[in-house]
Amino acid sequence: MNSHTLLRTVTGDTQPPASQAVRPPLVEIEHLAKHYHLGLSFSVKSVDGVSFTIGQGEVLGLVGESGCGKSTIARLLTRQTSPTSGQVKIAGQEIADVSGEELKRLRRTVQLVFQDPFGALDPRMRIGTSMEAPLAQHRIGTREERREKVMRMLTEVGLDESFYERYPRQCSGGQLQRVVIGRALLLEPSFLICDEPTSALDASMRTQILNLLTDLKRRHGLTMLMISHDLRVVRHICDRIAVMYLGRIVEVADRDALFKTPRHPYTRALIAASMLDRTGLYAPEIQLRGDLPSPLNPPLGCRFHTRCAHAQAKCSQAEPEFEAASESHQVRCHFWRELQPDRSAEAGSP
Ligand code: SF4
């Protein structure tokens, strides 16, 4: 029985589980795994059986500590690496099957914005030339039309036309991230993946870039995957949030439900650590202890048991299944019912 079937059994209805978007899906990930083999007997299970969908026009946040497998999912979605097993479909098409012109179209449809805008741009090229390059590569427009598109996009991302002639070294990190986002949007993608897009920026720049992404998402009807270690970032922009731990998703919920009633001890710890819990409800009970275990040798049973303040004998013996805490909320913990004090009414929104 797969986890989706199980959920339908648990909930007794046909509502999609929270790992499935309510809107028609643009992105469908099924049992995705990426294992890196290191010699005969070692393998790193970077992503290990992940399933979720992202609806058209939806922003899904993917959060977790560094090394939990988030960026591997971005690489799998853009075919920079191949899965060990599982499926990725974009607009109904299995991406492992595409080649030639179809692959070129896929590469245009799915765009990626990285953490480091300095690394994403050639320091020897003017901003205008860097932005025009993907348009030329996809044979879009004449030279003059490409220049006009770039000028319009510079304005749309909040920069003036003088940036066309500048070099990256003449721009701040925030300005360069606007350039990188604009360059991605010039190809009119339907799916934008942002991998820690603000982690190299200071707090005020971070807010500006998140506001820009929110605005662009609305204007362009973008579907987005926002990858971050920072819950404040995903809370700002996402409709739904998936929490990842050591290669697996441990909780998925609508944004407000996740912050109001986090069910998994790891999610609560992340909320407490990010100081988003203004009530102090979760802080004393949950401190993240120790470091993320090595994905070379993940703990048996619940992977979080070595750091969980609530671990019991069962936790190191059996891996918990995904269960539906509500129609739009799934959690992977044996004891989520017992642990949940259901004091959400007291807590209110964080
Ligand atoms: Fe903690 Fe056990 Fe739940 Fe894992 S299954 S999160 S160890 S209580």
Place of tokens 């991230």: 177
Please give the average per-residue pLDDT across 292-302, as a whole number. 87
pLDDT score of 293 = 86
Q: Closest residue (by CA) to atom 3 of ligand 1?
A: 333
Share of the chain above pLDDT 90, in %: 67
pLDDT per residue as tens digits for the range 126-182 = 999 999 999 999 999 999 999 999 999 999 999 999 999 999 999 999 999 999 999
Ligand 1 neighbourhood includes 310 CB (under 6 angstroms): yes
Classify domain 18-332 by CATH number: 3.40.50.300
Ligand 1 neighbourhood includes 164 CB (under 6 angstroms): no
Q: Is the pLDDT of residue 291 over 90?
A: no
Ligand 1 neighbourhood includes 335 CB (under 6 angstroms): yes
Of residues 197, 196, 270, 251, the one with CA closest to residue 228:
196
Ligand 1 neighbourhood includes 240 CB (under 6 angstroms): no
pLDDT score of 228 = 94
- Residue 313: exposure state from Cβ atoms within 10 A (0-12, 13-18, ≥19): exposed
User: How remote is the CA of residue 332 from the centroid of ligand 1, in Å?
Assistant: 8
Contact between residue 210 and residue 203 where contact means Cβ atoms under 8 Å apart: no
Give the pTM. 0.87
DSSP three-state, residue 7 = helix
Ligand 1 neighbourhood includes 231 CB (under 6 angstroms): no
Residue 314: DSSP 8-state: G
pLDDT score of 342 = 46
pLDDT score of 77 = 95
Model confidence band, residue 285 (pLDDT cutoffs 50, 70, 90)? low
Q: Provide the residue type at 175 as one letter.
A: Q
Q: Is the pLDDT of residue 349 over 90?
A: no
Query: Strand 240-245 to strand 59-63: parallel, antiparallel, or no bridges (unpaired)?
Result: parallel
User: How remote is the CA of residue 128 from the centroid of ligand 1, in Å?
Assistant: 51
Contact between residue 59 and residue 236 where contact means Cβ atoms under 8 Å apart: no
Nearest-atom number in ligand 1 for the CA of 303 is 4
DSSP bridge partners of 43: 37
DSSP three-state, residue 333 = coil
DSSP three-state, residue 250 = strand
Write out the two tokens for 244: 């990842």
| Cα 282 to Cα 119: distance, rounded to the nearest angstrom | 38
Please give the average per-residue pLDDT across 49-71, as a whole number. 93
Q: Closest residue (by CA) to atom 5 of ligand 1?
A: 333
pLDDT score of 274 = 77
User: How remote is the CA of residue 98 from the centroid of ligand 1, in Å?
Assistant: 40
Ligand 1 neighbourhood includes 334 CB (under 6 angstroms): yes
Q: Is the pLDDT of residue 279 over 50?
A: yes
